[in-house]
Amino acid sequence: MNFIKVASACPVTKVSDVEYNLSNIIICAKEASSNGAKLIVFPELCITSYTCSDLFLQDTLLKRSTEGIEELLLRTKDLDTLIAVGAPLLHKSTLYNCAYILFKGKILGIVPKSYIPNYSEFYEKRWFTEGLGMTDKLVNLSFQKDINFGTNLIFSCNDFNYGFELCEDLWVTIPPSSYLSLMGANIIGNLSASNELVSKADYRRDLIKNQSARSISAYIYSSAGVHESTTDLLFSGHLLISENGGILKENERFQRDNEIIYSLIDVFKLNSERMKNLSFRDSSKMVNMEPKIINFAYDDTKIKNFDRIIDKHPFVPSNQHERELRSREIFSIQASALAKRFEHTGIKKAVIGISGGLDSTLALLVIVKTFKLLNYPKENIIAITMPGFGTTDRTYNNALALCRELGCDLREINIVPAALLHFEDIGHDKNIHDVTYENVQARERTQILMDLANKEGGLLIGTGDLSELALGWCTYNGDHMSMYSVNPSIPKSLVRYLVRYVAEKESSKEVTDTLLDILDTPVSPELLPKDAKGNITQKTEDIIGPYELHDFFLYHFIKHGSSKERILFLSKEAFKDDYTNEEIEKWLDKFMWRFFTQQFKRSALPDGPKVGSISLSPRGDWRMPSDASPWK
């Protein structure tokens, strides 16, 4: 599934003691390999240690460093792991600060540091020369000839394409990793020696996150540790693994023992994001050099222990504070978009059908917020409850209570007489509870709302959500239609949190109590008759499957273009404690069938605001033929 395990390591070192440093580097490399890591990144100049200063000009240290690289190759030749280790290179009487890329007893390539810092506490130019612009060179060592040397090296094994830079390279205006990513590298390693100052770690972390986002890559960062010289500076051994703007793993700095962090990188996701991002592709036109591709082959890239956490609810932030911020922002987007539509049309009334369910509740809350923004009286919100054959007392009473508590113009129109007359008109037996029985009610309600909006000079606000649109769980020209829709890019799993946010943060006790009971009510269109005790008999998730599964399927299908096989794999990992494999497979089949066969409904959607990265609007985000064959 194109996952690869990577590691960032900080070994214990002694300044200028190559033999000691080498022993700990080998320990870390072997441990990482035994744990399944296919790449391990070590700190800058860790063979010698970074803080050797004028000792770098001593022949003894340079010879021992080269011998150390040879010994490292010998001791790691049986490891199925790409090793990036820092050491100096003396080439044609010029000294370079380099990343040596090792694999199975060979140096695949050597990458020089492009930018040499020489300001404040740094004075590397006293010893090293920048490698900026160094491409397509070959260097010789006593034990290996014709080694690729340059800043344009990409080490490739199938879809895993590695590029490397060193420390200061990340801090410049255009880091070398930007060019490497545009030339195909999707995993970047940074061998660093970044000293600690107050708040520097925060800035460093932000740099790494931003660079991984800008380059749509994984970024593996390793910095020198506390055992470097403390004559003037202190290093902390900061280790980070980032992927496309997020931190996957980070260590606790200032450790005194060998330390390794690990993470699984989702290369499929990175490649998918790059494929969709036209700006990323266009940026490649600015690259004026060709990459030097160095191919190598792992023995095995299967993940034996899949320990990456797969978010079960990708639309919903797991952190409560972040969830509250997201909810507030989404409400602002919805309300601001709706306010613009009211201002543009000059309309000062809203019409909405209220069922006592989640979606219409959320839409009503958005309308109330919009009217507050526009200083429109809440009495101009015409809320219509339309009891039918399946309406239960619970949803009916919640609908009434909510509208009264919010101060809306509440009206009731019972659709049963009209539905019965329509059954008679079209010759349908009222005792046959089929799709006709259900859709007659849905379309009757929409007709009432449309006509009442015309009569009152109001704007009919739609309530359907993203999950329903993905599954086509709406009646064509029924609840499918409105004059403006406010929930079309909000999945059902997020609708719940938005309603809960209003209940907990922005409501009176009376409104909160009603909203909490609505949240506790099973999702249902209530189109089939209730049971003898007046309870809901038609529960949506019993028919089409759990919405949390469908939202997960939808996210990965749209966001990353994931295959059915990949979605199934991720689902089984994410929901292994909640559903059996058979249940997941069943509902994924249902999702695929419904998503493909219901496109015709999405092709005729009313206007509505996009609030997240996934939308099924036929105008902006999703264009699909209505007659495409479902994928099996």
What is the model's pLDDT at position 522? 84
What is the model's pLDDT at position 226? 95
Q: How confident is the model at residue 89 (pLDDT cuts 50, 70, 90)?
A: very high
Q: Would the pLDDT of 144 be above 90?
A: yes
Q: Are 10 and 239 in contact (CB under 8 A)?
A: yes
Does domain 3-295 fall into CATH 3.60.110.10? yes
Read off the pLDDT of each residue in 89-102 and give the average, rounded to a whole number. Answer: 97
Nearest to 308 by CA among 268, 253, 273: 268
Q: Would the pLDDT of 375 be above 80?
A: yes
Q: Would the pLDDT of 453 be above 90?
A: yes
Read off the pLDDT of each residue in 325-354 and give the average, rounded to a whole number. Answer: 97
Considering only CA atoms, give the Rg of the chain: 31
Question: pLDDT above 70 covers what percent of the chain?
Answer: 100
What is the model's pLDDT at position 620? 85
Every domain range in the chain assigned CATH 3.40.50.620: 320-602
Every domain range in the chain assigned CATH 3.60.110.10: 3-295
Write a three-state SS string for 244-263: CCEEEEECCCCCCCCEEEEE
Known active-site residue 113: yes
What is the model's pLDDT at position 304? 87
Structure tokens at 487: 């929930």
User: Annotated binding residue at 262?
Assistant: no
Lookup result for tokens 């509870």:
433
What is the model's pLDDT at position 120? 87
Query: How many other CB atoms are found less than 10 A from the CB of residue 596?
Result: 17
Read off the pLDDT of each residue in 427-449 and give the average, rounded to a whole number. Answer: 95
Let me know if 140 is exposed, middle or buried by CB neighbors in 10 A (0-12, 13-18, 19+). exposed
Write a three-state SS string for 451-476: HHHHHHCCEEEECCCHHHHHHCCCCC
Structure tokens at 492: 């059902």
Known active-site residue 44: yes
Mean pLDDT is highest, among 276-290, 509-523, 562-576, for: 562-576
User: Annotated binding residue at 412?
Assistant: no
Separation CA 486–CA 496 (nearest Å): 15
Instruction: Provide DSSP, 65-102.
Output: HHHHHHHHHHHTTT--SEEEEEEEEEETTEEEEEEEEE
Estimate to the nearest angstrom the gap between the alpha carbon of 335 and the chain centroid. Answer: 25
Q: Interior CA angle at 238 toward 319 and 155, to 5°?
A: 100
pTM: 0.91
Structure tokens at 83: 């090793």
Q: Which residue has the higher pLDDT, 406 or 530?
A: 406
Lookup result for tokens 């099973």:
522
Q: What is the pLDDT of residues 504-542, one digit of tens each?
A: 988 889 999 999 999 998 887 777 887 877 777 778 888
* CA distances in angstroms from 338 to 341, 366, 377, 483, 501, listed in the order given: 5, 8, 15, 11, 20
Structure tokens at 99: 């990343």
| φ, ψ (nearest 5 deg) of residue 604 | -125, 45
Query: How many other CB atoms are found less than 10 A from the CB of residue 449?
Result: 25
CB crowding 582-592: b at 16 or more within 10 Å, else e: eebeebbbbbb
Known active-site residue 52: no
Separation CA 225–CA 213 (nearest Å): 26
Q: Is 60 helix (H, G, I), strand (E, B) or coil?
A: helix
Structure tokens at 445: 């309600």
At 149, the amino acid letter reads: F
Out of 46, 167, 403, 408, which one is annotated catalytic?
167
User: Annotated binding residue at 475?
Assistant: yes
Structure tokens at 160: 């895993």
Read off the pLDDT of each residue in 449-472 and give the average, rounded to a whole number. Answer: 97
Out of 44, 196, 444, 526, which one is annotated catalytic?
44
User: Annotated binding residue at 468?
Assistant: yes
User: Annotated binding residue at 273?
Assistant: no
Separation CA 480–CA 485 (nearest Å): 10
Enumerate the β-bridge partners of residue 195: 235
Q: How confident is the model at residue 498 (pLDDT cuts 50, 70, 90)?
A: very high
User: Annotated binding residue at 473?
Assistant: yes
Q: Are 104 and 96 in contact (CB under 8 A)?
A: no
Q: Would the pLDDT of 457 be above 90?
A: yes
User: Annotated binding residue at 357?
Assistant: yes
Query: How many other CB atoms are found less than 10 A from the CB of residue 238?
Result: 26
Q: Interior CA angle at 595 toward 592 and 598, to 5°?
A: 140
Q: Would the pLDDT of 480 be above 80?
A: yes
User: Annotated binding residue at 462?
Assistant: no
Q: Are 631 and 591 in contact (CB under 8 A)?
A: no
What is the model's pLDDT at position 1? 74
What is the model's pLDDT at position 266? 97
User: Annotated binding residue at 380?
Assistant: no
Q: Interior CA angle at 89 toward 224 and 197, to 5°?
A: 25
Any idea of the CA torsion for 42, 48, 52, 55, to the nearest 10 degrees?
Answer: -150
Out of 5, 38, 104, 113, which one is annotated catalytic?
113
* CA distances in angstroms from 483 to 28, 220, 338, 453, 459, listed in the order given: 63, 50, 11, 9, 6
Q: What is the pLDDT of residues 578-618, one digit of tens each?
A: 999 999 999 999 999 999 999 999 999 999 999 999 999 99
Q: Interior CA angle at 39 toward 36 and 45, to 5°?
A: 135
Lookup result for tokens 């059996």:
580
Q: Are 188 and 165 in contact (CB under 8 A)?
A: yes
- Which segment of 94-98, 120-124, 375-379 scores lowest on mean pLDDT? 120-124
Read off the pLDDT of each residue in 341-367 and give the average, rounded to a whole number. Answer: 96
What is the model's pLDDT at position 316? 94
Task: Name the pairing type of β-strands 459-462 and 484-485.
Answer: parallel
User: Where do runs of H (alpha helix) occur along 266-319?
Assistant: 267-276, 278-283
User: Annotated binding residue at 329?
Assistant: no
CATH of domain 320-602: 3.40.50.620
Query: In 179-311, at which residue ranges do the beta strands (DSSP E only) sit?
Result: 187-192, 218-223, 239-243, 246-250, 259-266, 292-295
Which residues have CB under 8 Å from 319's CB, separation 6+? none
Instruction: Provide DSSP, 344-363.
Output: HHT---EEEE--SSHHHHHH
What is the model's pLDDT at position 524? 77
At 245, the amino acid letter reads: G
Read off the pLDDT of each residue in 250-255 and give the average, rounded to a whole number. Answer: 96
